[in-house]
Amino acid sequence: TKQSDIVTVSPSVYSVYQNGIEVPGSARFFNIISGAVSIQAMITVTTENNPVEIKWNVKSGEAALENRTFTLIRNGY
């Protein structure tokens, strides 16, 4: 889960990536002046070296975020 305040934005897409590949269904499109971005995805991590990242893409202009938080919750063993 990631929730951040948008302070300046052009239309942008935020997604969860695992091992450099976008997690299906995680992309969220935002076209707002200010507010909160919150995205979530369920993933399976099978090895220690399996990075999970949040990335965003801005088509034109710029987007700036404040108070970025990235939380991973372990579900089971």
| Confidence check: pLDDT of 4 > 90 | no
Q: What is the 3-state secondary structure (H, E, C) of 4-17?
A: EEEEECCCEEEEEE
Q: 14-56, pLDDT tens digit by residue? A: 899 998 999 999 898 877 666 677 788 888 877 777 888 888 8
Which amino acid belongs to residue 39?
I
Q: What is the C-alpha to C-alpha distance for residues 43 and 60, in angstroms, rounded to an integer? A: 30
Identify the pLDDT of residue 41. Answer: 84
State the pLDDT confidence band at 57, using cuts at 50, 70 and 90.
confident
Q: What is the reported pTM? A: 0.69
CB–CB of 59/10 below 8 Å?
yes
